[in-house]
């Protein structure tokens, strides 16, 4: 096809598209592409074109100004985190034995609250204090103060690990337990190292690693025996953890032997023994209930039931998690003996303390008991327990298998 000759009117103008040939000095333009003739819209019965309005009269679209998002601020009465760090650098902390006692008092309070409510809400405060104490360790201080700080940091790390263990976050728990071991080793506190290893042994039983549990508690006992001044209460607690490990392995003879050792050590306790604060919880009711649980792990339900029941009657009522935990063990031993109504009634009574504490470990025992009820799901006692469970602990009941 040949080219098209177009005479251009100065009033219009020509808009060339892709390719064109212009003949300079002629009145027309020959092109081989597309062309847009700027013909006013009213001449073609169309709307007014954008180019028809003189540039001076064009009204540019105004963007609606965006209001900047307000910065998230801390309450006016609190300095920002950056200011806190500056003030910490500018302040030379002067520590004394009274300061160390204040730290230890707060740790005891943390443990008491952990028993009552669980560690989930406490953990940020515990970790914050741990970081603060570790920061203090970077400065040079008298040996007595420095060693005291190492001990406090070790206990805060163990407590943090325990809150993760109770939440069944085992990797995090192991990391903090390991840090607690390192801190205790700095001051050669072998009794405390034994305590941390015992915690790790207990966690291994929950992870279905009984061989690891036994290895860890054996190492704990070695540390305790090599330490000067290890008290009978500490040795009794460690022997009971050994019994748990053997029971998880299903070794009846070794379990009974370790239980006997725990009771023998406990009988040697004297009123004036210099027990570390972290082992004072291991009193007679605790010894009895742990003995019952060890027998229960072996499947010796008839032996376990009266021991756990007796300990529950004597246990501190403020220890919500412990009471819930031990009550479910009692219910389990009763169910193992075919006492369905009695077992479900015991488990139902335990739901109140269980609902008062945030503990995934307790929730796990709830699920285990519920699963054990599978053959009796249609029985009135089991239905009543399930109804009460769904009423008091919806998050737990929502994860139950029908």
Query: Contact 184/216 with Cβ under 8 angstroms?
Result: no
Query: Contact 153/103 with Cβ under 8 angstroms?
Result: no
Question: Comparing 19 with 60, which gets the higher pLDDT?
Answer: 60
Can you tell me the distance from the alpha carbon of 181 to that of 18, in angstroms, rounded to the nearest whole number?
78
β-partners of residue 36 are 15
Query: Contact 248/297 with Cβ under 8 angstroms?
Result: yes
- Which one of 7-16, 136-145, 151-160, 314-323 scores highest in mean pLDDT? 151-160
Query: Contact 172/164 with Cβ under 8 angstroms?
Result: yes
Query: Contact 385/348 with Cβ under 8 angstroms?
Result: yes
17-52 b/e with 16+ CB inside 10 Å = b?
eeeeeeeeeeeebebeeeeeeeeeeeeeeeeeeeee
Percent of the chain whose predicted confidence (pLDDT) is above 90: 63
Q: Which two three-digit tokens encode residue 111?
A: 């443990």
Question: Comparing 138 with 26, which gets the higher pLDDT?
Answer: 138
pLDDT at position 392 is: 83
142-149 long-range contacts, Cβ below 8 Å, gap at least 24?
144/97, 145/95, 145/96, 145/97, 145/100, 147/187, 148/97, 148/100, 149/95, 149/100
Smallest CA-to-CA distance from 237 within 217, 253, 209 is with: 217
Helix (H, G, I), strand (E, B) or coil at 20: coil
Residue 76's pLDDT band, with cuts at 50, 70 and 90, is low
Helix (H, G, I), strand (E, B) or coil at 57: helix
How do 4-7 and 14-16 pair as beta strands?
unpaired
Task: Give me the chain's average pLDDT, please.
Answer: 83
Stated pTM of the model: 0.76
Per-residue pLDDT tens over the stretch 162-193: 999 999 999 999 999 999 999 999 999 999 99
Give, rounded to a whole angstrom, the gap between the first and last alpha carbons of the chain.
Answer: 81
In this structure, the dihedral spanned by the alpha carbons of residues 312, 315, 316 and 317, taken in order and rounded to 10 degrees, is: 10
pLDDT at position 19 is: 40
Ranking 90-104, 154-168, 209-223, 226-240 by mean pLDDT, the lowest is 90-104
Question: Comparing 401 with 23, which gets the higher pLDDT?
Answer: 401
The answer, yes or no, to whether residue 73 has pLDDT greater than 70, is no
97-126 b/e with 16+ CB inside 10 Å = b?
eebbeebeeebeebbeebbbbbbbebbeeb
Question: Comparing 42 with 286, which gets the higher pLDDT?
Answer: 286
Query: Contact 307/295 with Cβ under 8 angstroms?
Result: yes
pLDDT at position 12 is: 39
The answer, yes or no, to whether residue 35 has pLDDT greater than 50, is no
Over residues 45-55, mean pLDDT? 53
Per-residue pLDDT tens over the stretch 225-282: 999 999 999 999 999 999 999 999 999 999 999 999 999 999 999 999 999 999 999 9
Over residues 281-287, mean pLDDT? 96
DSSP code at position 393? -
Can you tell me the distance from the alpha carbon of 368 to that of 363, in angstroms, rounded to the nearest whole number?
9
Ranking 12-16, 323-327, 353-357 by mean pLDDT, the lowest is 12-16
The answer, yes or no, to whether residue 15 has pLDDT greater than 50, is no
The answer, yes or no, to whether residue 81 has pLDDT greater than 90, is no
Query: Contact 194/233 with Cβ under 8 angstroms?
Result: no
The answer, yes or no, to whether residue 89 has pLDDT greater than 60, is no
């Amino acid at each position: 096809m040949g080219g098209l000759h177009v005479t251009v009117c100065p009033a219009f103008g020509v808009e060339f598209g892709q390719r064109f040939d212009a003949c300079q000095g002629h009145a027309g333009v020959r092109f081989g592409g597309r062309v847009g003739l700027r013909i006013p819209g009213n001449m073609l019965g169309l709307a007014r074109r954008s180019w028809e309005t003189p540039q001076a009269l064009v009204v540019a679209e105004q963007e609606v100004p965006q209001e900047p998002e307000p910065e998230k601020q801390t309450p006016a009465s609190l300095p920002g985190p950056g200011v806190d760090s500056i003030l910490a650098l500018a302040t030379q902390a002067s520590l004394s034995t009274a300061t160390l006692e204040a730290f230890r008092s707060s740790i005891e309070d943390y443990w008491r609250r952990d028993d009552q409510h669980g560690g989930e809400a406490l953990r940020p405060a515990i970790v914050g204090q741990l970081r603060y104490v570790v920061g203090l360790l970077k400065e040079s201080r008298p040996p007595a103060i420095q060693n005291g700080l190492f001990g406090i940091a070790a206990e805060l790390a163990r407590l943090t690990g325990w809150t993760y263990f109770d939440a069944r976050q085992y990797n995090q728990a192991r990391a903090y337990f390991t840090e607690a071991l390192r801190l205790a080793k700095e001051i050669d506190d072998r009794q405390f190292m034994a305590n941390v290893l015992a915690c790790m042994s207990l966690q291994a039983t929950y992870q279905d690693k009984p061989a690891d549990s036994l290895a860890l508690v054996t190492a704990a006992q070695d540390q305790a025996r090599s330490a000067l001044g290890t008290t009978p209460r500490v040795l009794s607690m460690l022997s009971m953890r050994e019994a748990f490990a053997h029971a998880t392995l299903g070794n009846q003879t070794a379990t009974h032997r370790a239980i006997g050792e725990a009771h023998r050590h406990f009988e040697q306790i004297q009123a004036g023994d210099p027990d570390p604060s972290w082992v004072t919880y291991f009193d007679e009711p605790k010894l009895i209930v742990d003995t019952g649980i060890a027998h229960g792990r072996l499947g010796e339900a008839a032996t376990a039931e009266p021991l756990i029941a007796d300990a529950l009657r004597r246990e501190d009522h403020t220890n919500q998690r412990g009471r819930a935990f031990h009550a479910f063990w009692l219910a389990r031993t009763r169910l193992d003996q075919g006492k369905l109504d009695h077992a479900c009634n015991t488990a139902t009574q335990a739901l109140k303390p269980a609902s008062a504490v945030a503990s995934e470990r307790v929730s796990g025992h709830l699920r285990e008991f519920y699963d054990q009820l599978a053959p009796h799901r249609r029985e009135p006692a089991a239905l009543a327990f399930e109804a009460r469970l769904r009423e008091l602990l919806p998050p737990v009941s929502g994860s139950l298998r029908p």
